[in-house]
């Protein structure tokens, strides 16, 4: 106790330590005030905590490395170690005193953060216990253990590197840089040089092991309320490791040879255990610039592979029933039994996302051989059996399932789906929504520490019912109104009124285009608000309507929800129809509201439109001449020609759309005509068709 | 009381101590040797800081690494000694008392006694950073005698002391050696001459001489035929080391 007091006195009396320390405490107060101000202004608690507390905390960790080092190293600087060691467990006592002093010093800002989080919870006033638990865990992991780990690292460096400040501060700087987004550019260099992501992955792997706080948050990606701040089990492992491992390095210095050897063995085992546990981390929401982080992994995966098109593929069988036993721990572990309606076939094809490692496929007669080819599983005959059991585990970088949250939408093949279907559409840059046209019977059991929400009936993580897709959500997620499931921490939660309003907008549109049979009773379906991350790397699945439920990124914005649903129905024919189709949807869904459209302000100059249409038709498509071995000059010419064509395409599209759907006498017929076109299998070019239609309108 | 038996110490391939055997009872022993002779290594082995590759250090006929109480009976002043400059001298002594496991109730008395012994009692409330180098050295001696240890290992205790303090130190050692073993490692022969009844001469990691001071003086007479004035310890030491050379 006396040693502890004196060690603490040393810290407080040393101006090089105490003045910066009190400045840091003042900084913590200031950060808290700014965080509160940010929250009061913008209403996004995650963003406020991310910007003002989570991101700067790495600098506070670095400060505690400095404190840990400078407080410990003064025993070496002042030649105390030798005579301290001459006493029974002298160095252990002295280091323990320093350790407890450091923990006291760390405890003050940690307690301030903790108190602030309690206050923040009170201020937010959501009365949502998982959010309170999340904030408490956040304060312990990001603002407690991480700071303690910083102090321990400093202490260990003092014990091992002694007064070699150059080495210590070089390592500290490296550690800090590895905890920031600084690494994004240098880590990409191996790819640019060798055209391989292997080294980048390895570098990020090392970086992850050193990352005490994920600093990428806020640089590129938002915090999604369903997930909150990343606090997967592996992060706790890493934080505890970086507290314990330096501690063993310090202890090694305190004992004589025999115990020292035992401690070295213990620290080596700890290192192995840490790396081992880190290696089986499973599903972690990687939100940075690495090629396998969630926004990039799937696009890169599918872009790098030969194009496969399974549109219109007939499975030749249907799945009547699923019995899904899902265990969600560090990743998804699944045992899925499917019952097929046609057991006499010679072979069966299934689609299962490639991130899931298929361990076995069994029938009642035992294990049967299968072949796995990316997202597809091929098996032979079932030998009279009509059931198959797939056992697999794995993860998707985007549709994750781990100890922190589950976001598994029904349209994503996280369980085997009949036949082969595309998962990613490279032309439209998004996930393909390919739902079975029939319903299956599902029995789902989810083993997880989280309360799962599902479109099927049931509770206590057991669900049963019929649908054409099973969606599972968990985390900071709840039923916010009857039949509406959302992230309670979001300010833009969907409401029954907004869903009804969207339904009305869509109904009006379907009636306008003469398709009353397509009217969707949105309010009859369960509504699952998807995290905003769903829309980040895909523009095709922001809203997915399944037979009994809807999964949508849209929320209180009824118009946005209606737009996104109509977008999923009015499918593009090619990448060239983007502008025309976008304008078409605007006129279809918002055409009545003339004040909302700037285009309404002036009339289309039809003679100019005809001229531009002629010019566009005569303009050769530069893409026809594109090839990989173009010279620099050819490439420049290609870019210029494509830009010119694209500009003209946009102008023609906008004007043609305005004329056809707003000014023309037959505008209702035109809307109807193009609705039929977009929902048909027609392969005709969209803009060509528009030009023909304009010419017909204008007459000879 | 404290003995060294067949002690060998190596650092990598370099053998610093070669089969050293010594035995010391109460009294003051001067460990004489040139720089690099192995004095500090021997003292560190005796303090239990270094583990020898061979041999052992015995305290009351028992190996020190098996004796839990040895370090409580040991006072040690290393060659390089320093203190935490932010603490007062008294706090620093209290820090040392904690390390030595001296009960809290006895600390104040022990600290006062030790500081008085080195003539620093008036500086007790001053921060260590305000003390001169000599004072820090004396404080080092003070911390070594805290708790009344039975064995005192002093490595270059007079380095940095002014002549007056050295004289005072010599007197103090005479007082200390009465009921304990004091091993005083130095290359300043006058200190040994003034305080020590016994001398150990170490050279190249080997003990050249171990015995009463007078015997070392006799060596000078025997080996070099010293005539005239009474030979000094330095004469004996030089004869021994030159003879080797």
Q: How many CA atoms lie within 13 A of A156 on its CB side?
A: 19
Residue A217 has what pLDDT?
A: 57
Tell if the CB–CB gap between B78 and A256 is shorter than 8 Å: no
**Among residues A590, A539, A544, which one has the least CA distance to residue A569?**
A544
Q: Which of A412-426, A431-445, B184-198 has the lowest mean pLDDT?
A: B184-198
pLDDT in tens, B202-244: 999 999 999 998 888 888 777 766 566 678 888 888 888 876 4
User: pLDDT at residue A581 above 90?
Assistant: no
What is the pTM for the complete model shown? Answer: 0.87
B148 part of a folded domain: no
Rounded mean pLDDT, A161-188: 92
Model confidence at A657, pLDDT cuts 50, 70, 90, reads confident
A318-327, A686-695, B115-124 — which is least confidently predicted?
A686-695
Angle at A291 between CA A286 and CA A297, to 5 degrees: 75
Of the residues B11, B74, B98, the best mutation for testing chain A's interface (the one with the most A CB atoms within 10 Å of its CB) is B98
Pick from A183, A187, A194, A175: nearest CA to A66? A175
| Confidence at residue B225, expressed as pLDDT on a 0 to 100 scale | 65
Q: pLDDT tens digits for A19-55?
A: 999 999 999 999 999 999 999 999 889 999 999 999 8
Q: What is the pLDDT of residue A363?
A: 93
b/e per residue A15-44 (b: at least 16 CB within 10 A): eebbeebeebeebbeebbeebbebbeeeeb
User: Residue B144: is its pLDDT beyond 80?
Assistant: yes
Read off the pLDDT of each residue in A463-482 and give the average, rounded to a whole number.
Answer: 96
Q: Which of B48, B80, B86 to mutate to test the interface with A (most CBs of A within 10 A)?
A: B86
**Taking CB atoms and an 8 Å cutoff, what residues of chain B touch A256?**
48, 51, 65
Distance from CA of A12 to the nearest CA of B (A): 9
Separation CA A172–CA B126 (nearest Å):
35
- pLDDT tens digits for range A320-359: 999 999 999 999 999 999 999 989 899 999 999 999 999 9
Pick the residue with more confidence: B191 or A256? B191
d(CA A649, CA A655): 10
CA distances, A47 to each of A54, A224, A277 (Å): 10, 9, 30
Rounded to an integer, the average pLDDT of A123-142 is: 94
Cβ B184 vs Cβ B195: under 8 Å: yes
Of the pLDDT bands very low, low, confident and very high (cuts 50, 70, 90), residue B245 is very low
Return the structure tokens found at A165. Answer: 């400040």
Q: What's residue B76's pLDDT?
A: 94
B77 touches B140 (CB < 8 A): yes
Mean pLDDT across chain B, nearest whole number?
89
Q: Which of A187-191, A324-328, A434-438, A629-633 has the highest mean pLDDT?
A: A324-328
Residues of B within 8 A of A90 (CB-CB) are 71, 99
- Name, in order, each residue with C-beta under 8 angstroms of A43's C-beta and a sequence gap of 6 or more: A491
* Cβ-based contacts of B80 with chain A (< 8 Å): 79, 82
Q: Shortest Cα distance from A67 to chain B (angstroms)?
A: 15
Q: How far is A73 from chain B (nearest CA, A)?
A: 11
Share of chain A above pLDDT 70, in %: 97
Chain A residues near residue B49 by CB distance under 8 angstroms: 82, 85-86
Residues of A in contact with B136 (CB under 8 A): none
Question: Residue A392, SS3?
Answer: strand
- Helix or strand (DSSP H, E) at B32: strand B27-32
Cα–Cα distance measured from residue A40 to residue A589, given in angstroms and rounded to the nearest whole number: 35
- In the sheet with A417-418, reading across from the earlier edge strand, the strands are A370-373, A376-379, A348-351, A417-418
Q: Check pLDDT > 80 for residue A477.
A: yes
- Tell me how far apart the alpha carbons of residues A435 and A544 are, in angstroms, rounded to a whole number: 9
SS3 annotation, B82-121: CCCCCCEHHHHHHHHHHHHCCCHHHHHHHHHHHHHHCCCH
Considering only CB atoms, A256 lies closest to which of B51, B80, B98, namely: B51
3-state secondary structure of A567: helix
In total, how many domains does chain B have?
1
Nearest Cβ partner for A3 among B48, B80, B95:
B95
Rounded CA-CA distance A169/A164 in Å is: 9
Chain B residues with CB within 8 Å of chain A CB: 44, 47-49, 51, 65, 68, 71-72, 74, 76-78, 80-87, 91-92, 94-95, 97-101, 104, 140, 143-144
Q: Hey, which residues does A425 pair with through a beta bridge? A: A430
- How remote is the C-alpha of B77 from its chain's centroid? 7
Domain assignment present for B66: yes
- The answer to whether A15 contacts chain B (CB < 8 Å) is no
Q: What chain B residue is nearest to A76 in terms of C-alpha separation?
A: B82
pLDDT at B227: 62
Contact assignment for B143 to A83 by CB distance below 8 Å? yes
pLDDT at residue A597 in the model: 53
What pLDDT, in 10s, does the model give residues A236-253? Answer: 999 999 999 999 999 988
Average of per-residue pLDDT across B32-51: 92
Residue A422: is its pLDDT beyond 80?
yes
Q: Decide: residue A456, CB within 10 A, 0-12 exposed, 13-18 middle, 19+ buried.
A: buried
Sign of dihedral through CA atoms B39, B40, B44, B47? Answer: positive
Task: Give the closest-approach CA distance of B132 to chain A in angstroms.
Answer: 14
How far is residue A546 CA from its own chain's centroid?
Answer: 22
Structural domain includes residue B143: no
Looking at A78-196, list the stretches that DSSP marks H as alpha helix, in order from N- to C-terminal side. Answer: 81-85, 90-124, 129-140, 146-161, 165-178, 184-194
Contacts of A6 in chain B (CB under 8 A): 84, 87, 91-92, 94-95, 98
Interface contact B99-A9, CB threshold 8 A = no
Estimate to the nearest angstrom the gap between the alpha carbon of A151 and the chain centroid.
Answer: 32
Q: Does A14 touch chain B (CB under 8 A)?
A: yes
Task: Indicate the CATH number of A319-475 among 3.90.1640.10, 1.10.150.120, 3.40.440.10, 2.60.40.1730.
Answer: 2.60.40.1730
Q: Report the candidate in A296, A288, A292 with the shortest Cα–Cα distance to residue A181.
A: A288
Per-residue pLDDT tens for A485-530? 999 998 888 888 999 999 999 999 999 888 999 898 888 899 999 9
Given a contact cutoff of 8 angstroms between Cβ atoms, the answer to whether A139 and A43 are in contact is: no
User: Mean pLDDT in chain A?
Assistant: 89
CA dist A57 and A141 (Å) reads 11
For residue A335, what are the CA distances in angstroms to A204, A392, B63? 32, 7, 65
**Burial call B186-204: b when 16+ CB within 10 Å, e when fewer:** bbbbebbbbbbebbbbbbb
pLDDT at A221: 72
User: Which among B65, B85, B99 has CB closest to A78?
Assistant: B85
% helix / strand / coil in chain A, to the nearest 5? 55, 15, 30
Residues B212 and A684: their CA atoms lie apart, in Å, by 116
Which domain CATH number covers B212? 3.40.50.300
Rounded to the nearest angstrom, the minimum Cα separation between B194 and chain A is 26
Check B84 against A78: CB less than 8 A apart. yes
Q: How far apart are CA A401 and CA A332, in angstroms?
A: 6
Complex-level ipTM = 0.92
C-alpha dist (Å) from residue A387 to A126, A186, A321, A375: 46, 51, 9, 21
Question: Which residues of chain B make contact with A21, given a CB cutoff of 8 A?
Answer: none
Cβ pair A86:B76 closer than 8 A: yes
The residue of chain A with its CA nearest to that of B90 is A6
Q: A88 and B71 in contact by Cβ < 8 A?
A: yes
Domains in chain A: boundaries:
2-293, 319-475, 570-698
For residue B171, the enclosing domain spans: 2-82+153-244
Q: How confident is the model at residue A222 (pLDDT cuts 50, 70, 90)?
A: confident
Structural domain includes residue B119 = no
Cβ atoms of B101 and B47 within 8 Å: the answer is no
Residues of A in contact with B98 (CB under 8 A): 2-3, 6, 93
Nearest of A157, A156, A180, A183 to residue A168 by alpha carbon: A157
pLDDT value at position B244? Answer: 47
CB of A447 closer than 8 Å to CB of A328: yes
Distance spanning both ends of chain B, measured CA to CA? 33
For the segment A93-110, the average pLDDT, to the nearest whole number, is: 96
Instruction: Compare CB distances from B81 to A9, A75, A79 and report the shortest one's residue.
Output: A79
CB A243 within 8 A of CB A145: yes
Scan residues 76-95 of A and list those with Cβ closer than 8 Å to B: 77-80, 82-88, 90, 93-94
pLDDT band with cut points at 50, 70 and 90 for residue A215: low
Mutate to test the interface with B, among A82, A85, A259 (most CBs of B within 10 A): A82
Sign of CA dihedral A627, A633, A635, A638: negative
Q: How many CA atoms lie within 13 A of A224 on its CB side?
A: 27
- Under an 8 A CB cutoff, do A6 and B95 touch? yes
Structure confidence at residue A218 (pLDDT): 52
How far is residue B148's CA from residue B140's CA, in Å, rounded to a whole number? 14
pLDDT at A18 over 70: yes
């Amino acid at each position: 106790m006396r040693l502890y007091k004196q060690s603490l006195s040393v810290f407080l009396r040393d101006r090089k330590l105490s003045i910066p320390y009190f400045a840091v405490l003042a900084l913590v107060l200031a950060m808290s005030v700014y965080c509160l101000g940010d929250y009061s202004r913008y209403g996004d608690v995650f963003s406020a905590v991310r910007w003002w507390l989570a991101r700067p905390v790495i600098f506070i960790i670095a400060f505690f490395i400095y404190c840990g080092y400078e407080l410990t190293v003064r025993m070496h600087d002042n030649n105390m170690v030798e005579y301290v060691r001459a006493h029974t467990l002298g160095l252990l006592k002295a280091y323990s005193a320093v350790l407890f002093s450091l923990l006291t010093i760390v405890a003050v800002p940690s307690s301030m953060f903790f108190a602030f989080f309690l206050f923040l919870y009170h201020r937010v006033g959501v009365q949502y216990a998982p959010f309170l638990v999340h904030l408490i865990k956040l304060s312990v992991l990001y603002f407690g253990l991480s700071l303690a780990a910083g102090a321990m690292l400093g202490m260990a460096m003092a014990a091992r590197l002694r007064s070699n400040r150059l080495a210590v501060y070089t390592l500290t700087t490296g550690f800090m840089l590895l905890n920031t987004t600084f690494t994004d550019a240098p880590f990409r260099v191996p790819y640019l040089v060798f055209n391989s992501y292997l080294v980048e992955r390895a570098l990020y792997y090392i970086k992850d092991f050193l990352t005490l706080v994920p600093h990428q948050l806020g640089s590129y990606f938002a915090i999604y309320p369903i997930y909150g701040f990343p606090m997967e089990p592996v992060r706790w492992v890493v934080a505890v490791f970086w507290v314990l491992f330096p501690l063993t390095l310090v202890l090694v210095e305190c004992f004589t040879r025999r115990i020292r050897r035992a401690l070295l063995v213990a620290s080596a085992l700890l290192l192995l255990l840490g790396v081992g546990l880190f290696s089986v981390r499973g599903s972690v929401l990687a939100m940075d610039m690495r090629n396998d982080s969630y926004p990039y992994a799937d696009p890169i995966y599918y872009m790098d592979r030969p194009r496969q098109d399974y549109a219109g593929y007939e499975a030749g069988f249907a799945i009547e029933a699923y019995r899904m036993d899902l265990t969600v721990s560090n990743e998804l572990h699944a045992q899925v039994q499917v019952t097929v309606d046609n057991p006499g076939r010679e072979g069966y094809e299934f689609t299962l996302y490639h991130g899931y490692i298929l361990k076995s496929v069994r029938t009642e007669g035992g294990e049967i051989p299968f072949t796995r080819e990316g997202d597809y599983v091929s098996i032979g005959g079932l030998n009279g059996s009509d059931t198959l059991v797939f056992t697999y585990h794995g993860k998707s970088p985007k549709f994750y399932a781990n100890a922190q949250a589950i976001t598994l939408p029904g349209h994503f093949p996280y369980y085997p789906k009949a036949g082969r279907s595309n998962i990613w559409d490279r032309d439209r840059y998004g996930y393909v929504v390919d739902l079975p046209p029939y319903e299956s019977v599902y029995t789902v059991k989810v083993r997880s520490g989280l309360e799962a929400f599902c479109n099927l009936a049931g509770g206590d993580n057991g669900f049963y019912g019929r649908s054409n897709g099973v969606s599972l959500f968990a985390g900071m997620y709840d039923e916010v109104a009857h039949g509406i499931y959302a992230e309670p921490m979001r300010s833009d939660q969907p409401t029954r009124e907004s869903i009804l309003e969207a339904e009305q907008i869509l109904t009006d549109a379907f009636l306008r285009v003469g398709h009353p049979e397509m009217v969707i009773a949105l309010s009859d379906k369960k509504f699952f608000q998807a995290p905003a991350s769903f829309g980040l790397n895909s523009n095709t699945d922001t809203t997915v309507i399944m037979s009994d439920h809807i999964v949508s990124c849209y929320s209180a914005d009824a118009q946005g929800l209606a737009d996104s649903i109509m977008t999923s129905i009015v499918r593009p024919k090619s990448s060239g129809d983007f502008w025309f189709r976008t304008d078409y949807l605007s006129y279809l869904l918002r055409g009545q509201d003339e004040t909302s459209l700037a285009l309404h302000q002036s009339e289309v100059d039809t003679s100019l439109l005809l001229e531009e249409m002629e010019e566009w038709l005569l303009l050769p498509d530069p893409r026809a001449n594109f090839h990989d071995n173009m010279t620099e000059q050819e490439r420049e010419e290609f870019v210029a020609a494509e830009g010119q064509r694209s500009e003209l395409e946009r102008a023609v599209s906008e004007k043609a759309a305005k004329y056809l759907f707003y000014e023309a006498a037959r505008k209702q017929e035109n809307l109807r005509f193009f609705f039929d076109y977009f929902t048909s299998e027609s392969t005709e070019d969209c803009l060509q068709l528009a030009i023909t239609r304009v010419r017909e309108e204008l007459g000879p | 009381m404290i003995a060294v038996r067949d002690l060998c110490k190596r650092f990598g391939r370099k053998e610093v101590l070669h089969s050293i055997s010594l035995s010391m009872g109460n009294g003051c022993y001067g460990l004489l040797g040139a720089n690099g002779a192995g004095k500090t290594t021997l003292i560190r082995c005796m303090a239990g800081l270094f583990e020898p590759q061979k041999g052992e250090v015995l305290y009351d006929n028992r190996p020190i690494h098996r004796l839990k109480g040895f370090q409580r009976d040991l006072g040690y002043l290393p060659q390089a000694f320093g203190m935490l400059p932010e603490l007062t001298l008294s706090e620093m002594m209290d820090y040392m008392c904690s390390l030595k496991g001296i009960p809290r109730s006895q600390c104040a008395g022990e600290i006062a006694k030790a500081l008085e012994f080195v003539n620093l009692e008036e500086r007790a409330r001053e921060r260590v950073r305000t003390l001169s180098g000599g004072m820090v050295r004396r404080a080092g001696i003070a911390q070594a005698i805290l708790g009344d240890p039975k064995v005192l290992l002093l490595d270059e205790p007079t380095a940095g002391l002014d002549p007056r303090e050295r004289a005072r130190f010599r007197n103090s050692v005479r007082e200390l050696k009465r009921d304990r073993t004091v091993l005083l490692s130095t290359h300043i022969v006058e200190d040994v001459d003034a305080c020590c009844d016994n001398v150990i001469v170490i050279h190249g990691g080997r003990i050249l001489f171990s015995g009463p001071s007078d015997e070392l003086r006799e060596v000078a007479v025997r080996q070099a035929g010293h005539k005239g004035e009474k030979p000094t310890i330095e004469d004996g030491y030089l004869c021994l080391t030159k003879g080797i050379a």
